[in-house]
Every structure is written in C-alpha cells, then in structure tokens.
Amino acid sequence: MAEPARRIDRIDTSARFTAADAEALNARFAGVPTRDMLAAVLNEGLAGRIAAVSSFGAESAVLLHLLASIDPSVPVLFLDTGKHFPETLAYRDELVARLGLTNLINLTPDAEVLDKRDESGLRWSYDPDGCCEIRKVQPLAKALAHFDASFTGRKGFQSASRAGLPRFEIDNSDTAGRLKVNPLADWSSDQITAYFNATGLPAHPLVAEGYPSIGCSPCTSKVAPGEDQRSGRWKGWDKTECGIHLPGQDQAEDELPPGFDPVF
C-alpha cells in the first residue's frame, strides 16, 4: 500500500506535489465517499492552498454544494470570459447566494491582450484555441500560480477523453507540481441527477433546452440524442477542451490579475 500523502502546511508557499503524492492520495481515498474525502482534504490541509475552478455550468452545483457544506469560504475561481450566456452569469449569482459561498473570484482576460489579439471580439470564429488561450488559460494560470492545488468538476463519463480520470493527479499545465483534484471523477450521470433531486439544487436553465455541457455562448451548441455530453462544444472543430486541463501550457507569470484578492 502506498505511503500516506504528506501534509502540506497552508502557509508554506513553496510546497507542491509529486506524482507519488498523487498516487498516495488515490490509494488513501480509494472507495472513500466523496464528501468524506473532501472533508479530509480541506480540514487536514492535505492539498495546501486549494481553490475550486468552476464554470457554473450544467453540473457545477453538485461540487459547489459539497464544498459549501464543508467550508463555504473555499475560493471559487470563475473565468468571466466576456462570452458567457447571460443565463450562466445569473446562475452563478444564484448558486453563490443559495450555497452561501463567500469567496467567489471572477477572473477576466487582460484588457491589453484583448486589444492586441482579439480587437474585434471574433477570434472564436477563426481561432478558438487562441480565444480560449487569452480568455481562459492565461487568466486561470495567473490565479492558480498562488495556489498549491485546485478542485475541478470533471467526470469520467463526460467524454471519451476523460474516461478513467483519477481523483488526484498532477496538473501538467506548469512545472510547479500543482495538484489537481477531481472529486466527481467516478460519478455517473445518474448519480449527478440523483444528487440534484435529493438536494433540490436548481438546474442551469439551459440544460432543459438541450445543453448538457455549457461553455461560452459562441462555441456551445445543443447536443443531439446519443451524442456524448461535450459534443456540443466547439462543434465543427477538432477541439474537445478549452485548454485549462491540457498539458503544454506556458507557465504563468507570478502575478495576480486585476481585482484578485483571495481569502484563505
């Protein structure tokens, strides 16, 4: 059996993780209920300084509800790209108020970068990777540079590329050994639905209109019966992820975006 993962003190800003740490955490929490695992990670400081990354999309309420039931002050990072559906922004505000989340952090693209690389606001139409890079990848990388780990809402059933997703893994977007925690990795679609029903959580209003996976409005389409949940994202492009969960990103500069004031 793998050794228990080392504890990282929240004030140790240099502490990061190795693949062995991720393996140890996966071994320790194999078969452990999700909420119990989350409580241990948060209450024992197992992941150091950690933030949740949430799109406030179709299934986001489940993870946010679990986190809020343990510690509503967990930082929640939302990428406000300037391209979201109005329904998503209203849903974000509704969930924050309903769950009592006290540390929502809205991350926005750098205005100077937008002026130089997306002056027309139409980069999504001819270079969706470049659009995601400046509106999602760069702002999130700068914010996460000040955390040791992040929670994501990814689930293995969402697409073929996410099948077999572990609960704990190393974030390959930088070289600092940041931990990525996927609490719902092994949840099924039925479990997600059952959780919504049991808790009375409100659904994203666009789900009922045929959007099981919701991102920026120009790059999100309705999904046909039988297609996987994420088939409506970047329809017509050879693209399945926005880039924040992919390896090979440039390491972010050690600076905070405007208005970033985390409360730990």
pLDDT at 42 over 90: yes
Take residue 193 and report the two structure tokens written for it: 């639905």
Question: Could you tell me which of 87, 69, 107 has the C-alpha nearest to residue 202?
Answer: 87
Instruction: Give the Cα separation of 244 and 169 in Å (integer).
Output: 14
Whether 148 shows a pLDDT value over 90: the answer reads yes
Give residue 259's pLDDT: 36
- pLDDT score at 196: 97
Q: If pLDDT is split at 50, 70 and 90, which confidence band does 175 have?
A: low
Q: Which of 3-7, 58-62, 194-198 has the lowest mean pLDDT?
A: 3-7
What six digits make up the tokens of 250?
């440039």
Distances (CA, A) of 192 to 167, 198, 199, 231: 16, 10, 11, 19
Query: What is the CATH number that goes with domain 19-232?
Result: 3.40.50.620
| Spans of all domains in the chain | 19-232
CB burial of residue 109 (10 Å; 0-12, 13-18, 19+): buried
pLDDT in tens, 92-126: 999 999 999 999 999 999 999 999 999 999 998 89
pLDDT at 264: 22
pLDDT of residue 232: 58
What average pLDDT score do residues 169-185 get? 86
> pLDDT band at residue 184, thresholds of 50, 70 and 90?
very high
pTM score, two decimals?
0.81
Instruction: Point out the residues that are catalytic.
Output: 242
User: In this model, does residue 250 exceed pLDDT 50?
Assistant: no
Round to whole Å and give the CA distance between 14 and 37.
Answer: 24
Q: Confidence band (pLDDT; 50, 70, 90) for 248?
A: very low
Residue 211 pLDDT level (bands cut at 50, 70, 90): confident
Report the pLDDT value the prediction gives residue 254, as an integer from 0 to 100: 34
Please write the tens of the pLDDT for every residue from 117-132: 999 999 988 988 899 8
Q: Is 229 within 8 Å of 158 (Cβ atoms)? A: yes
Q: Is the pLDDT of residue 263 over 60?
A: no
Q: What is the dihedral of CA 24, 42, 188, 32, to 10 degrees?
A: 50
